[in-house]
Amino acid sequence: MSVQGSLGTCFKRGREEEKRKKRKKRRRKRKKEEEKGCKEDGQEGSEEEEEGRKRWERRKEEKREGEREREEEEEEELEEEEEEELEEEEEEEELEEEEEEEELEEEEEDELEEEEEEEEEELEEEEEDELEEEEEEEEEELEEEEEEEEEEGEEELEEEEEEEEEEGEAQRCDCGDQRWAGVALPWPPGTEADGVRI
């Protein structure tokens, strides 16, 4: 319940209490005047006194009934006012609870959104790291393959050169064998061929 609501309730109750006090004072005053009038009437004679007493009793009873009715009405009004105040307080409490629930829901939604954003950022960073690692691995593999291909090419070149050298030596050896066998040579006698004097 808010401070304004509690102050308003206290103010209402204070006014009702003052009204009840004033009504009681007026009733007492009227009662005294009626009793005084009845006494004066009773002094005029026995018959008049009896009639006055009866009138006084009737008026007294009527007043009592009227007072009871008024008190009942006042009690009913007070009960209704209290019920209304209670309803207002309950409504205010319900509104406050709803506002608190809405605030809590908003806070939870904000927290969830923040968590989701953080998770997305982490996932993106992980994906970027994985991509970078994959690219680095691919580059390393490519470099290794290129190096292997270069080495293989160099080895092949060396093998080819060695084979060519071996073939040249074999040809020279064949030429020497033909000379000693008395086979005609493609160059004239007295010249050097591959370092051999003919």
- Bridge-based pairing of strands 192-193 and 196-197 is antiparallel
Q: Would you say residue 73 lies in a domain?
A: yes
| Chain length of the chain | 198
Rounded Cα–Cα distance for residues 3 and 99 (Å): 18
Q: Which domain holds residue 20?
A: 3-116
Q: Would you say residue 55 lies in a domain?
A: yes
6: closest CA among 89, 68, 87, 79?
89
pLDDT of residue 198: 47
Q: Would you say residue 108 lies in a domain?
A: yes
Domain count, the chain: 1
| pLDDT tens by residue, the chain, 198 residues | 554 555 556 666 777 777 777 777 887 887 777 776 655 555 555 677 778 788 888 888 888 888 888 898 999 999 999 999 999 999 999 999 999 999 999 999 999 999 999 999 999 999 999 999 999 999 999 999 999 988 888 888 888 888 888 887 777 655 554 544 444 455 555 555 555 544
Mean pLDDT rounded to a whole number for the chain: 79
Rounded Cα–Cα distance for residues 185 and 192 (Å): 12
pLDDT of residue 27: 79
Long-range contacts of residues 74-81, Cβ cutoff 8 Å, at least 24 apart: 74/20, 78/16, 81/12, 81/16
Q: Collapsing DSSP states into helix, strand and coil, what is residue 186?
A: coil
Q: Which residue has the tokens 């205010």?
A: 92
